[in-house]
Structure 1
Amino acid sequence: MSQEESQAEASVAERIGLKEPSSRRLRHWRRWLALIIVGLALLGVLFIAPSREDGPLFKTAEARRGDLRVEVTATGKLQPVTQVDVGTEVSGTILSVEVGFNDRVAQGQVMAKLDPDKSRAEERQSAAALALAEAQVDEAQATVSETGRKLGRTRDLIKKRLASPEELDTAEAAAERAVAALAVARAKVDQAQAKLDSDRRTLEKTVIRSPIDGIVLNRVVEPGQTVAASLQTPVLFTLAENLTQMELKVDVDEADVGQVEEGQTAVFTVDAYPSRTFPATITQVRFAPETVNGVVTFGALLAVDNADLSLRPGMTATADILVREESDVLLVPNAALRFMPPRQEGAKARPNLLSMLLPRRSRGTRQPSESTEKKPAGAVVWVLRDGVPASVDIETGFTDGARTQVVSGELEAGTEVLVGVEQGGRTP
């Protein structure tokens, strides 16, 4: 073949695509090389990556030795040890008010006065009735003397046969009536005296005095106000005897009252001082229940020292009562006592290329140990043994709400116990 024919064939082949320029061939080779590298990388991942089985990833916590403080929380209100409501037994108009809020008063000090005009008039009337009754006694005494002398003369005449028996009977009856009238007059004196004493007492009650040494917490009366004490004694003042010593009355839940005893210590907080705690001591746990909205509680009184007067009556307080304190005991989280491992059914291994080419004996689905079929009696915690949850029986003691004391069982300090399951976790 001549050179001209060879050039013509090459030109034709190039036109119909049977022969590409060298630059195009290089680009094609580069593309194929990139695809081959990616394919080898994917095969390497499939061969090297181990097979994994679907299963939960457990959360664990360590069982540790430590100190345990068991506390009972209760809420209540502060109140004075001695609080007295001062009222009036007399109706009338308030003439003056002598004390105000936060004033210190002494026993017997005048706090308010009522208009005494009506009471004073009744007292004078009773005094006059007493004077009249005493005059009637004198009159009756004179009558007794007169009838007595007449009876004596009649008896002398009878002895001399100068008077008839009928006259003697009349004289004796008159003398007896005079004695009876004297007794009636004396009784009226006692009655009038009692009425006078009552009216004088009523007059004294128009001046309202403090029954104790204390502080005025509340005053609900003003001069010119009319008070009526006919049906119920109106309260005019509220006094606290001593605010340096106060009481905290808290409501203890019926589930906790069995742990609360007299003499136990406590600390409490109030909203006015959120960063400050106050000490207290239980002085009384009452037997009488209190039911509010179906919830049964029992009242407990705590003695509070308020020397700086920072606490005030009526404040709401939250108290933490220390009912038990244990040192160096084995503790587990309460979440471990509530935990129950989930059952895994129908879980299958995720296949890879190596497992398909080289099949291995199936390990089956990982399940908790046989103890998961039936929950043992008593308290139970769960631990991992060979990657499988296994139960451990324990005997529990006291709890502080977050941790529980382990009294006995095959659980040692440092053991990781199961407390939960990670959401969407897997285990190899």
Structure 2
Amino acid sequence: MDTPDLSRLKIDRSAGTHQGGLKRPRRRRWLKIGIAALIIAAVAIALVSRFGASPRVETFTAVTAYPSQNYTMLNATGYVVAQRKAAVASKATGRLEWLGVLEGSRVKKDEIVARLENSDVSAVLNQAAANVKVAQANLEQGMAELRDAELAYRRSQDLLRQNFISASAGDAALARYNKARAAISGFRAAIAAAQANQQNAQVAVDQTMIRAPFDGVVLTRNANVGDNITPFSSAIDSKGAVITIADMETLEVEADVSEANLARIKVDQPCEIQLDAFPDLRLAGVVSRMVPTIDRSKATLLVKVRFIDRDPRVLPDMSAKVAFLSQAVPPQDRQSVIAVPPAAVTDRNGGQAAFIVTEGKVREQQVKIGRKVGELIEVQGIKPGDKVVLHPGSQLKDGDTVATAKK
């Protein structure tokens, strides 16, 4: 048997040396470049995060505060109302002929503000006035007749004593005198009746004149010239009240107070009133009365607060906030101040400072602190609306760039 040739089973490595041997160094070179790039990027990120990133800070916007908050025991909301308010109408029914006021007009008591057509009742009044004159003329005529009858009676008595006339003639003169005197009473009664008719007609005319019941300001006009005024009916196309007026001197605030807080308020307790329309306006008030009944559905008591400070801008139905105070606010505490949290003030260079954020940079501002206002503190040196840094660290410097932390 022939021996097999094992030399053919030998692996030829010469080809691999020329082909695979060229690829391995190239792969290793790209791998080294990638690793180096990753290392450089990591170092750059670390340097940026260490030296280039802006620190995040919390800020607070400086606000306007009132030291009277230190005396506040209880807060409530309500509305401004007029204690004296009237929907003015006429007792008569007719077409509105003249309206002499507008919204906002000031009127005096008994001033004529509107008038209905009154030609018919005016004619009745004129007729009644003429009847009074007729009755007065009849009285004058009767008085003349009485004087003549009295003279005739006296003459008849003298003649009767001298027997110049008969007794019957004397009796006739006496009867005439008595009749004339009785007629005077009738004429006077006729005058009284005519005057009563005139007064009745005058009342009818006056009812067509719509007058202001008190000094006040016109709030609304509910009718126009030409409208039919029917105050005691709900007829179609008819109006009831012509205008609505209010006495601005009787404005007060009605506030609902929870019955759980009734022990904290009392009559004549000082208050401070703030109007939603004028947030910077604080008016002094006092509890005038407490309605002696509880609203069962809301478990509240209606408290009425009278204005001590008057302001012409206060109008009925304005929304208002009432602060019930433990004592009257001293004059020095009635002015507003600028306030920030105590954490916004720090000690710097032997003084006190706050850091104001403007367009991403902080500005160190020297400030002077004052009294506490609730949880805030009064500061001087900054303006309302300035954003101040809370808890500024010792590393924070004037001009540093910061990022505002989102809350």
TM-score by length of 2: 0.51
Is 1:237 the counterpart of 2:250 in the alignment?
Answer: no
The match for 1:264 among 269, 282, 290 is: 269
2:270 maps to amino acid: T
Q: Distance in 2 between matches of 1:128 and 1:194?
A: 13
Deviations 1:317-359 (A, max 9, x none): 342312479xxxxxxxxxxxxxxxxxxxxxxxxxxxxxxxxxx
Matched residue, 1:145: 147
CA contact (8 A) 1:246 1:305 kept: no
Instruction: Give the match's secondary structure for 1:248.
Output: strand
Pair 291,119 (structure 1): closer, same or farther in 2 beyond 3 Å:
farther
Matched residue, 1:44: none
Instruction: Give the match's secondary structure for 1:321.
Output: strand
Deviations 1:72-93 (A, max 9, x none): 4444321236544433243321
- Residues 16-415 of structure 1 mapped to structure 2, 5 A cutoff: 71-80=73-82, 82-105=84-107, 110-163=112-165, 165=167, 167-200=169-202, 202-203=204-205, 206-210=208-212, 214-228=216-230, 234-242=240-248, 246-252=251-257, 256-268=261-273, 278-286=282-290, 289-293=292-296, 297=301, 299-303=303-307, 305=309, 307=311, 309=313, 311-323=314-326
Deviations 1:369-411 (A, max 9, x none): xxxxxxxxxxxxxxxxxxxxxxxxxxxxxxxxxxxxxxxxxxx
CA contact (8 A) 1:110 1:207 kept: yes
Pair 189,230 (structure 1): closer, same or farther in 2 beyond 3 Å:
farther
Matched residue, 1:29: none
CA contact (8 A) 1:154 1:171 kept: yes
Q: Distance in 1 between matches of 2:219 and 2:142?
A: 57
Q: Distance in 2 between matches of 1:71 and 1:102?
A: 37
Instruction: Give the match's secondary structure for 1:223.
Output: coil
1:267 maps to amino acid: E
CA contact (8 A) 2:270 2:327 kept: no
Pair 258,114 (structure 1): closer, same or farther in 2 beyond 3 Å:
same
% same residue = 23
Instruction: Tell me by how many angstroms 1:176 deviates.
Output: 2.2
Deviations 1:169-197 (A, max 9, x none): 45334322321211221232233234335
1:175 maps to amino acid: Y
Instruction: Tell me by how many angstroms 1:216 deviates.
Output: 1.6
Pair 156,281 (structure 1): closer, same or farther in 2 beyond 3 Å:
same
2:102 maps to amino acid: G
Matched residue, 1:382: none
Q: Distance in 1 between matches of 2:104 and 2:123?
A: 36
Q: Distance in 1 between matches of 2:231 and 2:254?
A: 32
Q: Distance in 2 between matches of 1:230 and 1:162?
A: 75
Q: Distance in 2 between matches of 1:174 and 1:139?
A: 15
Pair 187,251 (structure 1): closer, same or farther in 2 beyond 3 Å:
farther
CA contact (8 A) 2:270 2:284 kept: yes
CA contact (8 A) 1:148 1:175 kept: yes
Deviations 1:106-134 (A, max 9, x none): 66765322112112201211121112101
Instruction: Give the match's secondary structure for 1:235.
Output: coil
Q: Distance in 1 between matches of 2:186 and 2:241?
A: 42
Instruction: Tell me by how many angstroms 1:159 deviates.
Output: 1.2
Pair 157,104 (structure 1): closer, same or farther in 2 beyond 3 Å:
closer
Instruction: Tell me by how many angstroms 1:282 deviates.
Output: 0.9
2:113 maps to amino acid: M
Q: Distance in 2 between matches of 1:324 and 1:128?
A: 69
Pair 71,171 (structure 1): closer, same or farther in 2 beyond 3 Å:
same
Pair 77,169 (structure 1): closer, same or farther in 2 beyond 3 Å:
farther
Q: Distance in 1 between matches of 2:116 and 2:265?
A: 49
Q: Distance in 2 between matches of 1:171 and 1:223?
A: 66
CA contact (8 A) 2:72 2:323 kept: no
Deviations 1:141-163 (A, max 9, x none): 23312322332233234313355
Say which is worse superposed, 181-190 or 228-237, in terms of deviation.
Answer: 228-237
Q: Distance in 2 between matches of 1:185 and 1:110?
A: 37
CA RMSD, Structure 1 to Structure 2 (Å): 3.9
CA contact (8 A) 1:289 1:296 kept: no
Q: Distance in 2 between matches of 1:200 and 1:321?
A: 53
Q: Distance in 2 between matches of 1:230 and 1:190?
A: 32
CA contact (8 A) 2:232 2:240 kept: no
Matched residue, 1:26: none
Matched residue, 2:17: none
1:250 maps to amino acid: A
Q: Distance in 1 between matches of 2:305 and 2:256?
A: 9
Instruction: Tell me by how many angstroms 1:250 deviates.
Output: 2.9
1:239 maps to amino acid: I
